[in-house]
A = this chain, B = another copy of it.
C-alpha cells in the first residue's frame, strides 16, 4: 500500500465523504433527551445502512434497554489475523443554549476548513473517518478485506452515561473478542502536534451528609454550644488534602502506577503554554495541585479529590441565623492507572467515619461503583503500531497525552480484556458539548489516512 494511493483516494473521495457525514450529522441523536430517542434510533439505522453500503459483511443494530448501538464486522482475509474492536458513539450532546449557536446545530455547514454542527467532532466525525480509512486502505492495497478483522462498535448512549454499555459488552463478549480496542473519541494535542492518548483517569464518587440537630436551631439560643454540621463539613473537607496537595485518605496512592521517566519526558516535549491553559480553564488565576508534578501530569496521570458540590443551611436571599441540621457534599476522585474505584470509595468511607466529630452523624453514599482508569503503556505493541500509522499519516513525530476524564472505554478494556489504543483527531478547541461544535476537515482526512495504515500495522504488531 503506497502512501500516495491512500492520499489520492482520500482526496478524491473527500466531497462524497463530507456529504455523507453531513447527512448523518443532520439527525439530532441527543441521547440525554427522551424526546430525541427516536432520532437516536434513526441515527443507528442510518449508520447501519451506510456501513452495509460500505461493504461490511455483517451489520447489526444491537438493542439495549435504552438506546441502540451499531455493530459491524469485516473479517480479515486471513482467518489467523488479529481482531480489533473500533469504538465510537453515534449519540450527541444536547444543544442548549440554542441562542449561542452561529449556525443551526443540526444543519451541518462547511466553513473554510471547518465542518460545524453537533457531533462533528464528538463523535460522528471520528467514527466516520474510519469508514473512509477502510475504503482507502482496501483501494490502495487492492484487497477485498482488511488485514485484521475489524469490529466496529458504535454506542448510542455515551452522552447520557452509557447506562447499558457494560451489559451490552458482557452480552456480546464472544462476538467482540479481540486483540486490541481502538478508541476514536478523544483529541490530539493540536493540529500541528499530533499525539495519541494512552489512558484515561477513573472516577469514584461519594456523597457525604453530616447531621446535627433534628431541626434547624436558633443560633442565638443554641449557637456556639452544639456542633454545627456546616463547620464539621468545612473541617472534614479542609483535611482532604495535605499541605503538598496530596489526598490524605490512607492507602490512596498505594496502587497508583507511577509515571515513567520516558513518559514524563515525552509529556514535557509537548508545547504546553500554562498561561494559555489557564485561560481555557475558565480564566483560572493560578495553577495549583499536587507538589512535584507539572500541570499536565496532574490532570492526566495523578489522582485527585474534588468537591463538586456542597450545601446546607440557609442558601436563599437575606440572613437566617440558624445552626443548620444538615450539611451535604458531593465529592469525586479522579483515579490514576492502577486504582480501583470501589477501594477508594471504601477508603473515603472509613476516613469520614474516623473524622466525624462527636455530636455529628455521618452518612456516606457511593452512588455507583465508579469508572475504572484505563492505561496502555507507551511501549505496548498496540500503541507502538498505532503510533507508526499516525506518524505515516502526519509525517512527523507523534507524542503522547493522556485523558484526565473518565469514560466507558475502561469497560472495554476490562470486559473485553484487551489493550486500548487511542487514535483520534479531535481538538480541545472543537467546542464539544458546547455551542458551535466543529471539526477540522483536514484533520478528519488525516484521521482517515492514519486509519488506512492502522490495520496493516496492527496486523503485524498483534500477530
Contact = CB atoms under 8 A, between A and B. Distances in A.
Interface of A: 201, 203, 205, 212-228, 230-231, 233-241, 278, 281-290, 295, 298-299, 302-315, 318-325, 327-330, 332, 334, 357-361, 367, 403-406
* In the complex, the 3 A-B pairs of residues with the closest C-beta atoms, listed nearest first: A220-B405, A213-B282, A224-B304
A404 B322 CA distance: 12
B240 A306 contact: no
A234 B307 contact: yes
A363 to B, nearest CB: 14
B324 A308 contact: yes
Contact of A359 (B226, B240, B288, B320): B288
Given A217-B284, A224-B404, 18 more contacts: A214-B282, A214-B283, A215-B282, A217-B281, A221-B405, A224-B302, A225-B288, A225-B298, A226-B289, A228-B307, A230-B310, A234-B307, A285-B359, A285-B361, A286-B358, A308-B324, A310-B310, A319-B367
Contacts of A287: 225-226, 359
Given A226-B286, A307-B234, A327-B310, A281 B213 contact: yes
A404 B307 contact: no
A323 B310 contact: no
A330 B319 CA distance: 7
19 contacts: A203-B220, A212-B284, A215-B282, A217-B282, A219-B304, A220-B406, A222-B299, A223-B334, A224-B299, A224-B334, A226-B284, A226-B288, A231-B241, A288-B359, A308-B313, A308-B320, A310-B312, A310-B327, A319-B332
Nearest to A304: B224
B308 A311 contact: no
A88 to B, nearest CB: 19
Contacts of A334: 219-220, 223-224
A309 B233 CA distance: 12
Which of A285, A290, A327 neighbours the largest number of chain B CB atoms within 10 Å of its CB?
A285
A314 B308 contact: yes
A153 B286 CA distance: 57
Contact of A312 (B290, B303, B309): B309
Given A213-B284, A220-B406, A313 B307 contact: yes
A330 B228 CA distance: 13
Which of A222, A237, A327 neighbours the largest number of chain B CB atoms within 10 Å of its CB?
A222
Contacts of A230: 237, 307-310, 329
B309 A223 contact: no
A289 B224 contact: yes
Given A222-B299, A310-B233, A284 B319 contact: no
Contacts of A321: 203, 205, 306, 308, 332, 406
A230 B201 CA distance: 22
Contacts of A298: 224-225
Which of A238, A239, A309 neighbours the largest number of chain B CB atoms within 10 Å of its CB?
A309
Contact of A306 (B224, B241, B290, B315): B224
B222 A307 contact: no
A94 to B, nearest CB: 14
A319 B345 CA distance: 14
